[in-house]
Chains A and B, each alone.
Chain A
Amino acid sequence: MRGLEAVIQVRRSASFQLDLSLQITPGKTFALLGPNGSGKSTTVSVLAGLLALDHGRISLDGTTLDDPDRGVFVPPEVRRIGVVFQDYLLFPHLSVIENVAFGLRSRQVGHAGSLARAAGWIERLGLTGFSDRKPASLSGGQAQRVALARALIIEPELLLLDEPLSALDVTTRIELRRHLAEHLESFAGPRLVITHDPTEAFLLADEIHIIENGRIVQAGTPDDIRLRPRTRYVADLAGSNLVRGVAGGGVIETTGHSLHIADRSVEGPVLATIRPSAITVHLREPEGSPRNTWKTSIDLIEHLGDRVRLRITAPLPLTAEITELATRSLELTEGAHVWVSIKATEIGVEPV
């Protein structure tokens, strides 16, 4: 199985050209991460067949879906691609079970059979009892799950999720992210998640592709992206510190270190986010300092324009960001010993 191989070139307007390539092997989840307007939705449309390529080639498991130079274009209804759209696009005039069964009915499966299969998927996604409800009466989280069931039931060869969680409130998002990760894992083919949320990309994807103005600016594992952002843009977008640990009583325990946080009530496995610019760097132990202060050393200095990124090592590897000016005035060099300090309130905490 060769998964998805796509070389995409599409001109959307006089000023915007989408030009990228993706190879997703079966069993892997890729994330396409970028801000709104960067070309993410166009990528979904092109892969789904709702938009045609200007140049390039799209093939799935060896079958060519779109090849303008050879005059090949497979229409969307023939491609076996499951799409979860950004607004879910559940058919408002059909009930939940009819929505889920829609893809089966269209592929000439019998009516009774398709409803039975749909009922199975409804249960699998924890929506038992919602079969006869109309989409308008569903919450965001429920609608998302119906959309997922609707896409999975047709046993597609590629799964495309366009901003699957962005329409949800924070609590629902965290809960559904967990379920989504499970469903993605159990889907055998290649999967592509489109998102503008770095945390989502880091938690769901095996590989992240950063898209800016229609082009991929960096691709790699989440750690690659996070630790070695190649451009300011990538750094701002994704180069944040993510630390996994266990929280309790206002402290997060990670391997080798404890971080004090502001929220005393959160408990259990968490993901802590620390913006590089929230880490202050000092040559001597700072006085009157926040609880999170420790001695470490710099093992890498990267200059990115007028900012400087410092990679610090044990006990907790993090990336700090300070100005060029500060770097020079502190006469920082690689290998130098420094003190770092982080305010408890600057540490973002999210349960996982």
Chain B
Amino acid sequence: MNDKPRRRSERRPAPVLVTLGGLGLLIFVVPLLGLLARIPWTRLPELLSGEVVTDALRLSLVTSLAATSIAAMLGVPLAWLLARADFPGRAIVRGLVTLPLVLPPVVGGAALLFALGRRGVVGEPLNQATGLVLPFSTLGVVVATTFVAMPFLVITVEGALRNLDQRYEGAAATLGAGRWTVLRRVTLPMIAPSLVAGLVLTWARALGEFGATITFAGNLQGRTQTLPLAVFVALESDRDTAVAVSLVMVVVSLVVLVALRDRWWKAL
């Protein structure tokens, strides 16, 4: 018998784990297979080059990236305040930040409409003062997607800042670094993996947003019809286009997520 008892780390995982884990994997794989099965492969080039698809793709990429940038510029300072500053009502603020995660996106879109619409609490004075109308505009799409996606960034960065050993920042101070330098050369680089993970999650959420977008920004090809909206509308009349556009979304998302590989898991 050549079998020597294998060390714990070499043994294959327990069959129960493999079975349950495998079933879990199926939940993700089966819908994807369903999608792939319906793809009209021969018509694909023709479907994907249609204006509906290219317009939607362009809009989706532009708005999701814009939303991610805004989330970063405003979310990082907010996360910093939540993690480091001690102010009354901090727990409430944190609750507010996580609200978009819990609200159905359509409700979020409706709330945005009530607040920022033409007759909205903030929107009406804004419109009368500047003539700016957010609903039914590309900017409106950015607002809606930022609203639903930003919590991901704030939560990820806040967590990272809390877990950061603040003594490093103290050490940097004794070496002569002022507060801004400490932030730039020590704090942010040390939370970089979490920050990247947060940005990716935020971008992915923004890309996939449907309910808030269609409720607040409406649906118009070239102006507000992002990929998810295009799929929804196409599903009613032209199933082949719907499937093709869905494929585009899956491919774009997979490319980005796989490119990050293990790095972002470590950060989360």
Contacts and interface: CB of A to CB of B under 8 A. Distances in A.
Q: Do chains A and B touch in the complex (CB under 8 A)?
A: yes
Interface of A: 45, 48-50, 75-79, 81-83, 85, 87, 89, 91-94, 102-103, 105-107, 150-151, 154
A76 B190 contact: no
B170 interface: yes
Given A89-B167, A91-B168, A106-B181, A154 B173 contact: no
Given A49-B173, A89-B171, A91-B171, 7 more contacts: A45-B170, A48-B170, A77-B177, A89-B167, A105-B185, A106-B176, A106-B185
Interface string B163-190: 0000110111111111001000110011
B176 A89 contact: no
- State the majority secondary structure of interface residues on A: loop
A21 to B, nearest CB: 22
The 5 closest A-B pairs by CB, nearest first: A103-B175, A76-B173, A89-B171, A106-B177, A106-B176
A79 B170 CA distance: 13
A83 B176 CA distance: 11
Given A77-B176, A150-B175, A93 B170 contact: no
Interface in B123-182: 167-168, 170-178, 181
A351 to B, nearest CB: 32
Interface of B: 167-168, 170-178, 181, 185-186, 189-190, 192
Contacts of B185: 102, 105-106
12 contacts: A77-B175, A81-B174, A83-B171, A85-B171, A87-B167, A91-B168, A93-B189, A103-B176, A105-B185, A106-B176, A107-B176, A151-B175
B167 A106 contact: no
B189 A102 contact: no
A208 B147 CA distance: 61
Q: Which of B167, B174, B185, B192 has the most CB of A within 10 A?
A: B174
B174 A92 contact: no
A44 to B, nearest CB: 10
Given A103-B175, A107-B176, A150-B175, A76 B170 contact: yes
A83 B192 CA distance: 26
Q: Which of B173, B175, B176, B178 has the most CB of A within 10 A?
A: B175
A324 B172 CA distance: 54
Nearest to A86: B167
B170 to A, nearest CB: 5
A50 B170 contact: yes
Contact of B175 (A50, A75, A93, A102): A102
B84 to A, nearest CB: 15
Contacts of A94: 189
A150 B177 CA distance: 13
A82 B167 CA distance: 15
Q: Which of B170, B178, B181 has the most CB of A within 10 A?
A: B170
Contacts of A50: 170, 173-174
B175 A106 contact: yes
Contacts of B167: 85, 87, 89
Given A91-B186, A93-B190, A76 B168 contact: no
Nearest to B173: A76
A93 B174 contact: no
Given A91-B186, A93-B190, A48 B174 contact: yes
Nearest to A98: B185
A91 to B, nearest CB: 6
Contact of B174 (A82, A87, A107): A82
A180 to B, nearest CB: 19
Contacts of A107: 176
